[in-house]
Structures are given as C-alpha cells and as structure tokens.
Amino acid sequence: MAFYKMFNPDEDVNEDNAIVTSGLFQDGASSITAFHTSSTQYSNTGDYSIDAYRYNPGTNASASVQFGVTYGHRHGSGSLGTKGATGDRTTAAIFGQFNNLINPPETTAFKFQENTTSKQIYAIVFNRARMREAIEPGGWELRLHAGGTGTTTIKLIDDSSTNKGGNTDQRNFAPEYNVVSGTLSGGTTINTAASAETSGNGGSYGTFYPKLGVILLNPERLQAAPLLMATVSASNTDNRNDLTFFEAIKSGSYFQVKRQEEITSRHYFVRATANNFNSTTNETFYTESVSGVKQVITGLRTDPKVYITTVGLYNDDNELLAIAKLSKPILKSKSREALIKVKLDF
C-alpha cells in the first residue's frame, strides 16, 4: 500500500507557457480617470519627479504609487543651478539617468523620428513590482489636456499594431515602439504614423519601452498644436515642468495600462490507482490499539473506504514542498480510482 508515489515525467508531468495580461493599476483596474499626488513626496523630492496615485494618499491609507512623471534636460535647464556652480540641476540628473539607461555610449540626445537631437524629455515610469514583466504593447492609452486657450485633448498610444517587432534603430532595450496619436476605443486606431510627424512640429510624440516600463515623450511635439503644452526651460530657474506634465495627465482624465507576464504552468497528474492510497491517518478509521498497534475497523479491513481531501508534493528527501486542497472530498476505495490534476504557476 503506497504512501508516496514517484511521478513519471513522461506521463505524469506536463508544462506550458502563456502570456497573461491584467490591469496595472491599484485594485486590478486597467484604467483610471482621477490622479492624485502626495504633498509630502512633492515637498521632499518633487523637483526630481512626481508620484501619481489612483486614490488620495491624504485620505486613503491604502493608496499606493501608480507611476511617476519627470522632466529631464541635458543642460539642466528648467531647474536651479548652473554647471560648475551651486544648485542641484535636477533636470540634468534626470536626463543623464535616462540617457545612460536607454541610449548607446557617448550619446548626448534623444531621437524622436525627424527630431534627432532632442535635449529634453518627459518620462512616465512604472514600478517593476506593479508592471511585473512588461507593459503590454498596444495595451495603453494616455490622454493629455494642457488646459490653455485653443488646446484640445490628445490621445496617445504606441504603434505596435503596425510596427511589428519595433523600431530597427534600437537603443539599449528592445523592443522599442513609437508613441503616436491614436486610440484603443473600439479597436486600435492610429491617426498619424510617427514617420509622418514633421520636424516643424518637433518630431514624433515619443518612444515606448515595454520591458523597461518607460514611456518617453517629446516636449517639442507636445508644445506644438494641437496640445500646446508649454515647456519652460530657463537657465537656473525652477520651472517645475514635471508638475506641468502631471497637470496635463490629470486634466486628460484617462490613462489605460495593461501589464503582461509569462506564466509557466506545471501540471502534475496524480493517479490514485485501485490498490493504493486506501488508508488514512484519520482516527475514525481505527479502533482500539492492540499491543500499541492501531487496528483498522473490522468493516474497513477488506473493503477500505477513505476520502481524499489533500495532495502533497514532496521532493526526493520526502520534504513537503506544496499542498493542493481539493474543493470537495473524493471517495477512494479498491473499486474506485482517482485522477487529480495539480497545477502550479510560476
């Protein structure tokens, strides 16, 4: 009578992989329409970046950071300080961080299609724990509204639906997609391809790095029509462009993002055959002990009946590694076999 049974890898174990997508935001939401900041974070590190929340952290203790927004400039414009003088030059630090992360060595500017020498960027950054493996290409839409006279709300997505495999002019991380004017509502619609954006408008809207969880936007294109979001980059001046960018997101009132991860599922087929697993440690299976040995109840000695409620998975040293609980007990006897599938996701 078996208590442990070895799995036959060829017959009892199967493995498969699947890409699973889900809403990125708090509570599993795939889109949010309200955006909040933390006064504490803003006063301490707001000159570097602004954390965005789904819920107001001042009134909701469960509120957590959804993403961060920031602005960078190669020469530190738009922040206090000058090169070789006092001041943090925070925008230069931000630009340098993304430049080192994304661009090849000795690169000093970002390329947004026709604009090949951009010295400034806006960035949306998602926390690794929240995005898991990647942001789903074709799974996000951002709406921006600058609020000024004559402005309109623009809708931005990536061009992965037509740009299969991403840009050929890759940086340090692949794939890379262009940010374009378009919408996901009712199916993916791209209004203007990135290659059609002219240098007169400042180039394309930006680039998207799904595995980094980073969306880079081009300030020169956002400053042009139809958004007209002004970016002020004066020397040795705290222009708070990160706040301007956050307010445009807040006024746009819509951000949809889905994350994706590859899940490896291993299926173990547990086979309780007729003459095995017909005993139990449950005290109701036994009567009084004889000479210290428990005796099976007379009626169950020749025709034992037990119920399977739990499956344990052990290693070669008989150490318990995992427990599977059945939704309801399964009757097991010499005339009844059981096949139970245990699924482990990694």
Name the E strands within 206-300.
206-209, 214-217, 255-272, 286-290, 293-296
Strands 110-112 and 189-192: unpaired
Whose tokens are 């970002």? That residue is 110
Compute how many other C-beta atoms are within 10 angstroms of the C-beta atom of residue 156: 23
Residues whose CB falls within 8 Å of the CB of residue 335, separated by 6 or more in sequence, listed in order: 274
How is residue 325 written in tokens?
């609980």
pLDDT score, position 299 = 66
pLDDT score, position 131 = 92
3-state helix, strand, coil in the chain (%, to 5): 15, 40, 45
pLDDT score, position 170 = 62
pTM of the complete model = 0.80
3-state SS, residue 53: strand
How is residue 319 written in tokens?
């150490």
Residues whose CB falls within 8 Å of the CB of residue 305, separated by 6 or more in sequence, listed in order: 331, 332, 333
Q: What Å distances lie between residue 210 and 2, 125, 172, 179, 205, CA to CA?
A: 50, 11, 13, 12, 16
Whose tokens are 């994706």? That residue is 260
pLDDT tens for each residue of the chain, 346 residues long: 557 889 999 999 999 998 999 999 999 999 999 999 998 887 777 778 999 999 999 999 999 999 999 999 999 999 988 766 656 789 999 999 999 999 988 899 999 988 889 999 999 999 888 999 999 999 999 999 997 555 689 999 999 999 998 987 766 778 999 999 999 988 889 998 998 888 788 999 999 999 999 999 999 999 998 999 999 999 888 899 999 999 999 999 999 999 999 889 999 999 999 988 888 877 777 777 666 677 777 767 777 888 899 999 999 998 999 999 999 999 989 899 999 999 998 7
Give the torsion sign (CA, 110, 223, 187, 210): positive
pLDDT score, position 72 = 97
Compute how many other C-beta atoms are within 10 angstroms of the C-beta atom of residue 327: 6
> Which conformational region is residue 113 in: left (phi greater than 0), alpha (psi within -120 to 50 degrees), or beta?
left
